[in-house]
Amino acid sequence: MITANALQRTLHLSINGSTGTGFLLDHGGRQYLITAKHVIGAGASGTFELGIMNNKAWTPVKVSLVGHAAHEADISVLALPSAIVAPSLALPAAKKSHLTQDAYFLGFPYGDFGDVGLLNQNYPMPFVKRSIISSFNNGGRPSIIYLDGHNNPGFSGGPVVIFDPDTKQLEVLSVVSAYRSERKEIQHNGLTRRDLSVKVNTGIVLTYNVLHAIEVIEANPIGPAH
């Protein structure tokens, strides 16, 4: 069961006319907004405004770019003017994971969301998809974790969460970036049309280790929000 510390920390974002997913991470006495670099744009800098959906409307929030992850990791870290979710609903970063372990990723595919009103503080309820950890180069540069699942546009920037095998507590493992696709030729009346093809989802989900976000935070320390 995915608990409130993941559901209430997953936010629906609107940036420059497009939408995506982000999530909240507490570190060093401050709450940060984590998302994919391609969601906000690699050229983002300084302080800018984005929309966070609440009560079925976009609430404008001014955020400051803390930094983009290095080593081509598709992660950006933003500083919020104040905490959105109580720190007591902690979602710590995972320190370890295992091959074939169940993993869940949260987000807003195609801009869709659930609505449970005050049960989620009037924030939209994210979709949750189940997968397994299919492969990884844990500790690599960048540190990539591949999932076997079915990602959709809109999940980018969302958290991948797992249960710690020892404590059974939910932790955030990585940040959703993309999925692998391949071209399939079209068949018509029993014949292969080599001049026509469609792009299909292979079920391989590309995610980047959340520890890259923590590296950005620790390399660019800022005081706690008030």
pLDDT in tens, 162-215: 999 888 899 999 999 998 877 767 776 667 666 666 777 788 999 999 999 999
- Does residue 14 form part of some domain? yes
Give the separation between CA 70 and CA 156, rounded to whole angstroms.
18
Q: In this structure, what CATH number is given to the domain that contains residue 26?
A: 2.40.10.120
Selected residue with higher pLDDT from 143 and 190: 143
Confidence at residue 150, expressed as pLDDT on a 0 to 100 scale: 94
Q: What is the pLDDT of residue 225?
A: 56
**Once rounded to an integer, what is the mean pLDDT over residues 132-141?**
89
Q: Is residue 225 part of a domain?
A: no
Cα separation of 187 and 54, whole Å?
Answer: 45
What's the pLDDT score for residue 181?
74
- Residue 85, pLDDT score: 85
Tell me, yes or no, whether 194 lies in a domain: yes
Would 87 be classed as within a structural domain? yes
Mean pLDDT estimate for the chain: 90
Give percent of the chain above pLDDT 70: 93
Whole-model pTM: value is 0.91
Distance in angstroms (rounded) separating the CA atoms of residues 160 and 176: 7
pLDDT digits (tens, 9 = 90+) for 65-105: 999 998 899 999 999 999 888 777 889 999 889 999 999 99
Mean pLDDT of 31-50: 92
Q: Is residue 142 part of a domain?
A: yes
Residue 88 lies in a domain: yes
Q: Give residue 122's domain range.
A: 4-219
- Residue 226 inside a domain? The answer is no
Q: Of 114, 116, 107, nearest to 150 (Cα)?
A: 107
Q: Name the band, by pLDDT with cuts 50, 70 and 90, for residue 226.
A: very low
In terms of Cα–Cα distance, which of 67, 70, 69, 90 is closest to 79?
A: 67
pLDDT in the model for residue 1:
84
Any domain includes 152 = yes
Q: How many CB atoms lie within 10 A of CB 3?
A: 13
User: How many domains does the chain fold into?
Assistant: 1
The phi, psi pair for 125, rounded to 5°, reads -85, 125
